[in-house]
């Protein structure tokens, strides 16, 4: 079993503190959902764990099986087993989706032990079928001209090809119609298992109709303010966030406000 531990994480962007002490522990075999209204620090948490260049960790720690993640370069974090499905994936002209994926896979393998082209193509074809993606997307330039839904599917395709230990999914459901949402959920459920843990960031309960989380956390004001089981998500769906705000005496849940 692997464990990702986030302790008292403080993160700033352009000198402004966004995360104010986040604590979370993820084990493989578990799916965690982080929910909360817009502007409460959810995406910042995802970006800080992966090492986004604009986010500065001012204190706290992130460890993966005891290893200090924050000391690692972005590519080292990925090779250690972390994956972030991004909310806004970059478009890269001239680099085909297939070449990019093959480089990603080979980055994890020793020189001389690269994945064979045939094996790679077979695997990519079958995963693309599973995600109901057009085969021609393999030869298109990375995310260039992809629709919102295509980009999200492409993130899940990468997840399924790379098979990380922990995947953070940053608003993978935003902008998806119901069919695309089902496909994306199917991909994540396919990954679910002993050797895989996930942190799903969303502000809609909708996604959780298709992926049942083991744990649900609510973020407000740059902290996790409430944690529970799947029933918490249902309660949020039925009643919204106001009852939590009342319970905790929060007037404005966004970052920069104090309870």
Partner 1 sequence: MTVETTLAVTEQVIRAYSEKMQEPGWMTDFRLTALAQAADLPMPEPDKTNIKSWDFLSFSAHTVESEGYSTLADLPQDIQSLIDTENQKTLYIQRNNTPAYVSVSQELQDKGVIVTDIHTAIRDHGDLVKQYLMTDVVKPDEHKLTAYHAALLNGGAFIYIPKNVEMDEVVQVIYVQDDESVSLFNHTLVVAESNSKLTYVENYLSTFETATGQANIVSEVLAKDNAKITYGAVDVLAKGYTAYVNRRGVAHRDAVIEWALGLMNDSDTIVENVTHLVGDNSEGHVKTVVVGRGDQKQNFTTKVIHWGKNSEGQILKHGVMKDSASSIFNGIGKIEHGASKSNAEQESRVLMLSEKARGDANPILLIDEDDVTAGHAASVGRVDPMQMYYLMSRGISKHEAERLIIHGFLAPVVRALPVEGVKKQLTEVIERKVR
Nearest distance from C-beta of residue 79 to partner 1, angstroms? 5
Closer CB to partner 1, 93 or 116, in the complex: 93
Smallest separation, CB 128 to partner 1 (Å): 17
Instruction: Report the C-alpha gap between 15 and 66 in whole angstroms.
Output: 29
- Candidates 73, 177, 251, 258: give the one binding partner 1 (CB under 8 A): 73
Decide if residue 222 touches partner 1 (CB under 8 A): no
Out of 15, 93, 194, 231, which residue is the one contacting partner 1 (CB under 8 A)?
Answer: 93
| Out of 3, 21, 29, 100, the residue judged to bind partner 1 by CB under 8 A | 100
- What count of Cα atoms within 13 Å lies in the side-chain half-sphere of residue 155? 27
Residue 21 Cβ vs partner 1, minimum distance, rounded to whole Å: 25
CA 84 to chain centre: 4
The size of the interface with partner 1 (CB under 8 A), counted in residues, is 29
φ and ψ of 164, to 5 deg = -75, 170
- Please pick, from the candidates 86, 124, 225, 244, the single residue that binds partner 1 as defined by CB under 8 A: 86
Chosen residue from 38, 68, 74, 126 binding partner 1 by CB under 8 A: 74
CB of 8 closer than 8 Å to CB of 22: yes
d(C-alpha 200, C-alpha 216), whole Å: 9
Rounded to a whole number of angstroms, the minimum distance from the CB of residue 50 to partner 1 is 5
Q: List, as one string, the DSSP characters of 140-173.
A: SEETTT--HHHHHHHHHHHHHHH--SEEEEESTT
What are the DSSP E strand ranges found in 114-233?
Answer: 141-142, 166-170, 197-201, 215-220, 223-228
Q: Which is nearer to partner 1, 36 or 51 (CB)?
A: 51
CB nearer partner 1, residue 13 or residue 248: 13
- 217: tokens are 């956390």
Nearer to partner 1, 163 or 206 (CB): 163
Instruction: For residues 155 and 143, give the distance between their C-alpha atoms in angstroms, rounded to a whole number.
Output: 10
Cβ neighbours for 147, distance < 8 A, ≥ 6 positions apart: none
Beta-carbon contacts of residue 112 (< 8 Å; ≥ 6 apart): none
Q: Is-contact 125 135, C-beta < 8 A?
A: yes
Nearer to partner 1, 151 or 217 (CB): 151
> Judged by CB under 8 A, does residue 141 bind partner 1?
yes
Q: Which region among 101-109, 187-195, 200-208, 249-257 touches partner 1 (by CB under 8 A)?
A: 101-109
Asked if 145 is part of the footprint of partner 1 (rule: CB under 8 A), the reply reads no
117 binds partner 1 (CB under 8 A): no
- Name the site residues for partner 1 (rule: CB under 8 A): 50-53, 73-75, 77-79, 83-84, 86, 89-90, 92-95, 99-100, 103-104, 107-108, 141-142, 158, 162
């Amino acid at each position: 079993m692997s464990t990702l531990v986030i302790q008292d994480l403080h993160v700033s962007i352009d000198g402004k503190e966004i995360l104010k002490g986040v604590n979370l522990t993820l084990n493989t075999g578990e799916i965690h959902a982080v929910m909360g209204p817009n502007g409460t620090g959810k995406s910042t948490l995802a970006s800080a764990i992966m090492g986004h260049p604009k986010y500065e960790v001012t204190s706290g720690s992130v460890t993966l099986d005891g290893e200090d993640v924050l000391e690692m370069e972005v590519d080292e974090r990925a090779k250690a087993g972390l994956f972030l499905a991004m909310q806004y994936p970059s478009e890269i002209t001239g680099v085909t989706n297939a070449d990019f994926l093959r480089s990603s896979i080979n980055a994890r393998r020793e020189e001389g032990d690269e994945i064979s082209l045939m094996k790679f193509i077979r695997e990519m074809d079958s995963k693309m079928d599973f995600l109901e993606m057009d085969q021609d997307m393999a030869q298109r330039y990375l995310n260039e001209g992809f629709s919102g839904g295509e980009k999200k599917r492409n993130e899940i395709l990468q997840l399924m090809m790379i098979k990380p230990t922990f995947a953070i999914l940053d608003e993978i459901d935003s902008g998806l119609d119901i069919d695309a949402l089902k496909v994306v959920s199917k991909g994540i459920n396919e990954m679910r298992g002993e050797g895989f843990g996930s942190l799903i960031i969303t502000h809609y309960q909708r996604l959780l109709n298709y992926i049942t989380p083991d744990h649900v956390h609510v973020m407000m004001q740059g902290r996790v303010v409430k944690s529970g089981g799947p029933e918490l998500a249902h309660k949020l769906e039925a009643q919204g966030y106001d009852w939590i705000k009342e319970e905790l005496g929060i007037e404005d849940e966004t970052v920069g406000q104090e309870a």
